[in-house]
Amino acid sequence: MLSGRITAGNNPFRNCHFSAPVVSGEIDMPSVAVHDATVWYELMGSPSEPAMVLVSGTGGTMHSNWGHLVPTFSKKRRILLVDYSGSGKTTDDGGPLSVQMLVDQIMAAVQAASLDRFDLVGYSLGSCLSMTIAAQHPERVRSMVLLAGFFDGSDRRNTLQAGLWLDLIERDPVLFARMIVLNGMKPERVSAMSQADINGWIQAIVQNNDWKGISRQIDLDRRLNVTGVLDKILAPTLVIGCKYDQVAPISHSREMARRINGSSYAELDAGHLAPFEQAHEFAQLVMGFVG
């Protein structure tokens, strides 16, 4: 849901800078043609390390969702970041999105980057895409971590939420940004933020989102249903639910963990914006699981 950089001096997320990360090793920023799309991706870190593919959530970009985490992950992994349709510099015909379309784009970047097997980390909508990749390419996915995920966006609550988001974006993106800040984090954390911090988050969301792109992704959120892939996942999987998640309620993560054979389960004391709210704890869970 978030792009840009927050600069409020007293920001509790001051270590989470939503821009290109600084890592050791090589950084490559090419693109790949996939049907009518030009998909941009980044490959960073040492080629000698095992690969890890990070899959963003709705409205996120390779930098806004992952920039503050890549320096940690890249110590032991070669990182592939992909901006699928609706995000970042990636362009296409502007039509409706589908899960398979975005999965094909991510896998095209994997192929272009010459990655064989990889760990897969998906956040929110990225969890839906990651589960589909794992089910369709079991020989490629070494392990998988799913954060704040869901598998059926067509339920009444999610369609109500998605419709509200689209209405807010159309009428006034500031209202949408205020709702994301209000509902995206643990209530006590929002209460403890200064007004400058809150304004910084709202400003970053408003100024840096691609509103046409995020609207297309929200439309996909309310249509997708990947229930059919859950029992086809073979990779060792860690499902992470967020106790205060008002976007993808924790019941989704618990059910995913129940349905994915042999999966492990953990919870974070955070809302849907857990990659920022509990960045250190999330990174520890990921690296502890993938080894």
pLDDT in tens, 239-282: 999 999 999 999 999 999 999 999 999 999 999 999 999 999 99
pLDDT tens-digit profile of 92-122? Answer: 999 999 999 999 999 999 999 999 999 999 9
**CA distances, 276 to each of 53, 231, 256 (Å):** 19, 30, 23
pLDDT tens-digit profile of 164-198? Answer: 999 999 999 999 999 999 999 999 999 999 999 99
Quick one: tokens of 71? 């320096």
Q: Is 272 assigned a catalytic role? A: yes
The secondary structure element, H or E, covering residue 66 is: helix 62-66
Q: Is 56 assigned a catalytic role? A: no
Residue of 56, 40, 20 lying closest to 108 (CA atoms)? 40
Q: Which residue in the list 124, 127, 130, 253 is annotated as catalytic?
A: 124
Q: Give the pLDDT band (50/70/90) at residue 87.
A: very high
User: Who's near 188: CB < 8 A, 6+ residues apart?
Assistant: none
Q: φ, ψ for residue 54 (rounded to 5)?
A: -105, 125
Q: Does residue 284 surpass a pLDDT of 50?
A: yes
Q: Which residue in the list 245, 252, 253, 263 is annotated as catalytic?
A: 245
Rounded Cα distance, 189 and 271, in Å: 10
User: Who's near 196: CB < 8 A, 6+ residues apart?
Assistant: 8, 9, 10, 11
Sorted by where each starts, the structural domains of the chain and their CATH numbers stand as 26-153+225-290 (3.40.50.1820)
Q: Give the pLDDT band (50/70/90) at residue 26.
A: low
End-to-end CA distance of the chain: 29
Q: Is 245 assigned a catalytic role? A: yes
